[in-house]
């Protein structure tokens, strides 16, 4: 009996100890959670810390009701929504009131204005037709304002704060209903609200949703080729790419060192995208214009000095790549030149129908569109003349600023790289948001250093009625650009634009019939040139063609491409060159070679003498270029066919993009891709007589390749 009682007492004692330990653990856990909320809010305050000047806004403040006399609170405009100014000014007031360095620090009169202004906002309840303001912009701004005001000399009344938090929750929506950057943006104001209410379950939902877009997907978000989509299958490396990086790195910095820190696998996806894609589209301080979506029509949008913030965050988050991010920062800050730290690379983004070619001397890209992807959008009254930007558009940049703010005065029928009728009124796609392309053959082959891309272009929409076979061949010193089978029944003349950029050099140097001259300002002429040089970029014309050169002042305004922007007239000097194929061309063609990094006549003549490039075919069926210096053949076959000359014979069973590298004595390296993404077997018979009379056979099985149907495969031939 004694043993039993002792045993029972021992058990009770153990249970008591466990219960006490659990209580203590729960108490400690609760304290830890509270501390983490405070840690998060402290980081948020530091992230947005500022010392604003508010005198001008104070002069517009209405003491009677807490409004601002110059704000149209009834406006429902979809962009630059006027009522948002109210919250943005109160936001600045909050930072002025809580910053010891500001003259309004602890100013009770300013506190009353903030309180009254917030009361007015809640009662007036402004609403915008663009969901983004209601569910992202306003809730984020309010959340940060309230977090900042928690540190003030006076606290906002609990009832007012509660009403505003309820507004954020109800109007802000749930992040899980959205995708990509939009999901992360909504999750951000959930984080702010969760910290203010110390709601652990909502915080977990917020963080799960903030990080959930960081996966490879076939929908909106990070693609398996390391590109980025938003608004369906639309390339958006900039614009929404900016947003996802801003949001993810922001949340990752808040949660660093806490139980909510971003996982290593998700951080790796973000880092890879930033280092290999996002920052690669920024040359110097400027982003390539064709990856910005409809944002290209906004003033100063290509200048990306603000993105230094993302790279600085990554130095803390991803120290293994800190040196790379430091190099990026130096380029964008302007501390080092645009080519600082760049190494050669070539990427064809087979998911995005986009090609990016980077060299220390220059960057060159091509944007295409197929029935797998969407054209560049023009929603919310922005980017109204964008139609041709998806049809083989090219950026050619050395310093990066070649197209900075050019867009109001651009001739949008002459987008660099594009073949199009010279329409005075640029058509709009069927849908302002998600219009698929029609090409079934758009893609390229790549070995990560060199590559070739092709675009079978046919457009019967809006009386465009034009077709062409367009291809680009990428090497070290040059990019070879070919066009064939150019036909049109459009009413207008059809042009292929080589470039339309800012006239940064006042003179354009031209060699025609081996005679060198300059074209002065305010001129337009047709010539048959050997080559043209302007602003460190040379253009060589290996075949006779009706080339136009323009060196003129062009006029325009931002409003015509963006109905929320200024109507103020602008003028800029613009350099344009291209081919005039005439009215209703049939089976026309073009060929030009872009040689960036050339600054003098001597440079151009020296390059011409090298004769590295052989253009061996430029027809409806095939386009083939050889770089003799590199020992590289690049071939586009639009259908099953054969090419043969004294140096090589190649036969393929279907359309493909093929690269043959024979710079090794004992082996030949083959890279092959299917721009049509047919998921079939591509066979090639290859004979290189000087190595062997034997026909070598290669077989690339793309069956069941799924999302990788457009990726390149590698084979080797041994000799």
Active site residues: 231, 240, 294
Interatomic CA distance for residues 282 and 333, integer angstroms: 12
- The partner residues of 538 in beta bridges, in order of sequence, read 533, 595
The answer to whether the beta carbons of residues 567 and 529 sit under 8 Å apart is no
Q: Alpha-carbon distance 707 to 679, whole Å? A: 10
Angle between helices 240-255 and 2-48 (to 10 degrees): 140
Provide the token pair at 599: 């600054």
CA dihedral 177, 188, 234, 288 (to 10 degrees): 180
Measure the CA–CA gap between 623 and 106, rounded to whole angstroms.
Answer: 72
3-state secondary structure of 110: helix
Instruction: Please list the residues that pair with 539 across neighbouring strands.
Output: 532, 594
470's CB contacts (< 8 A; 6+ apart) are 392, 419, 454, 455, 456, 457, 481, 482, 483
Query: What is the rounded end-to-end Cα distance, in angstroms, of the chain?
Result: 94
3 state SS for 361-400: CEEEEEECCCCCCECCCCCCCECCCCHHHHCCEEEEECCC
Between CA 32 and CA 44 the distance in angstroms is 18
The whole-angstrom separation of Cα 82 and Cα 417 is 39
CA atoms within 13 A on the CB side of 696: 18
Cβ 396 vs Cβ 402: under 8 Å? yes
Q: Give yes or no for a contact between 684 and 698, defined as CB atoms under 8 angstroms apart.
A: yes
DSSP assignment of 483-538 equals EEEEEE--SSEEEEEEEEEE--SS-EEEEETTEEEEE-SSEEEEE--SEEEETTEE
Please count the other Cβ atoms lying within 10 Å of the Cβ belonging to residue 153. 11
CA dist., res. 650 & res. 368, Å (int): 27
User: Quick check: helix, strand or coil at residue 51?
Assistant: coil
Separation of alpha carbons 397 and 362, rounded Å: 6
Beta bridge partners of 577: 499, 549
Nearest to 356 by CA among 436, 431, 446, 419: 446
CB of 672 within 8 A of CB of 490? no
DSSP 155: P
- Do the Cβ atoms of 659 and 626 come closer than 8 Å? no
The whole-angstrom separation of Cα 458 and Cα 452 is: 20
d(CA 143, CA 208): 19
Residues in the chain: 719
- Residue 697, classed as helix, strand or coil, is strand
**Sign of the CA dihedral with 552 first, then 555, 558, and 561 last:** negative
- Asked whether 570 and 556 are in contact (CB, 8 A), the reply is yes
CB 524 within 8 A of CB 552: yes
Secondary structure element (H or E) that encloses residue 687, with its range:
strand 681-687
């Amino acid at each position: 009996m004694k043993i039993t009682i002792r045993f029972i007492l021992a058990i009770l004692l153990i249970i008591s100890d466990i219960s006490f330990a659990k209580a203590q653990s729960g108490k400690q856990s609760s304290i830890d959670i509270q501390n983490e909320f405070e840690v998060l809010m402290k980081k948020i305050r530091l992230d947005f810390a500022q010392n604003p000047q508010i005198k001008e806004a104070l002069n517009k403040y209405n003491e009677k009701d807490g409004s601002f006399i110059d704000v149209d609170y009834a406006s429902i405009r979809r962009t630059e929504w006027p009522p948002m100014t109210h919250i943005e000014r109160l936001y600045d007031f909050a930072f002025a009131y809580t910053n010891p360095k500001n003259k309004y620090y602890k100013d009770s009169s300013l506190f009353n204005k903030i309180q009254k202004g917030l009361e007015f906002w809640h009662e007036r309840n402004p609403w915008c037709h663009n969901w983004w303001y209601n569910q992202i912009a306003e809730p984020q701004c309010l959340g940060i304002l309230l977090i900042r005001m928690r540190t003030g000399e006076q606290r906002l009344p609990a009832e007012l704060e509660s009403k505003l938090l309820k507004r954020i929750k109800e109007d802000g929506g749930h992040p899980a209903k959205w995708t990509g950057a939009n999901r992360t943006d909504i999750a951000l104001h959930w984080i702010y609200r969760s910290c203010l209410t110390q709601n652990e379950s909502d915080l977990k939902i917020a963080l799960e949703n903030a990080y959930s877009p960081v996966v490879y997907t076939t929908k909106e978000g990070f693609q398996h080729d390391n590109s980025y989509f938003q608004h369906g299958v639309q390339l958006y490396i900039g614009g929404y790419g900016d947003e996802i990086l801003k949001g993810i790195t922001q949340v990752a910095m808040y949660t660093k060192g806490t139980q909510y820190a971003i996982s290593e696998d998700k951080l790796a996806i973000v880092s890879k995208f930033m280092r290999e894609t996002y920052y690669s589209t920024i040359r110097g301080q400027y982003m390539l214009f064709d990856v910005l979506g409809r944002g290209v029509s906004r003033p100063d949008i290509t200048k990306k000095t603000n993105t230094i913030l993302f790279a600085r965050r990554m130095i803390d988050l991803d120290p293994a790549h800190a040196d790379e991010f430091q190099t990026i920062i130096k380029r964008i800050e302007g501390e080092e030149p645009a080519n600082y730290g760049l190494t050669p690379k070539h990427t064809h983004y087979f998911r995005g129908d986009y090609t990016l070619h980077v060299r220390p001397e220059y960057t060159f890209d091509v944007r295409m569109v197929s029935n797998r992807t969407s054209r560049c959008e023009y929603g919310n009254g922005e980017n109204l003349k964008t139609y041709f930007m998806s049809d083989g558009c090219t950026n050619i940049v050395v310093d990066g600023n070649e197209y900075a703010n050019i867009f109001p005065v651009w001739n949008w029928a002459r987008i660099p790289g594009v073949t199009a009728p010279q329409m005075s009124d640029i058509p709009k796609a069927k849908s302002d948001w998600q219009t698929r392309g029609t090409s079934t053959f758009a893609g390229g082959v790549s070995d990560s250093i060199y590559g070739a891309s092709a675009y079978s272009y046919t457009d019967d929409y809006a009386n465009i009625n034009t077709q062409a076979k367009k291809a680009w061949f990428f090497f070290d010193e040059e990019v070879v650009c070919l066009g064939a089978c150019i036909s049109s029944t459009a009413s207008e003349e059809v042009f292929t634009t080589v470039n339309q950029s800012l006239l940064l050099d006042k003179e354009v140097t031209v060699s025609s019939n081996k005679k060198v001259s300059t074209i002065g300002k305010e001129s337009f002429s047709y010539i048959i040139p050997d080559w043209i040089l302007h602003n460190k970029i040379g253009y060589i014309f290996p075949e006779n063609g009706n080339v136009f050169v323009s060196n003129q002042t062009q006029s325009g305004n931002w409003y015509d491409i963006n109905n929320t922007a200024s109507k103020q007239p602008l003028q800029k000097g613009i350099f344009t060159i291209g081919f005039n194929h005439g009215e209703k061309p049939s089976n026309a063609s073009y060929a030009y070679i872009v040689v960036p990094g050339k600054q003098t006549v001597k440079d151009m003549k020296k390059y011409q003498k090298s004769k590295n490039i052989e253009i061996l075919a430029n027809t409806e069926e095939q386009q083939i270029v050889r770089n003799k210096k590199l020992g590289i053949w690049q071939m586009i076959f639009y259908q099953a066919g054969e090419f043969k000359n004294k140096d090589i014979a190649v036969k393929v069973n279907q359309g493909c993009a093929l690269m043959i590298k024979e710079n090794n004595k004992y082996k030949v390296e083959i890279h092959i891709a299917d721009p049509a993404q047919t998921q079939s077997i591509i066979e090639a018979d290859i004979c290189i007589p000087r190595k062997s009379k034997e026909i070598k056979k290669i077989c690339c099985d793309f069956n069941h390749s799924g999302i990788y149907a457009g990726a390149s495969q590698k084979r080797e031939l041994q000799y």
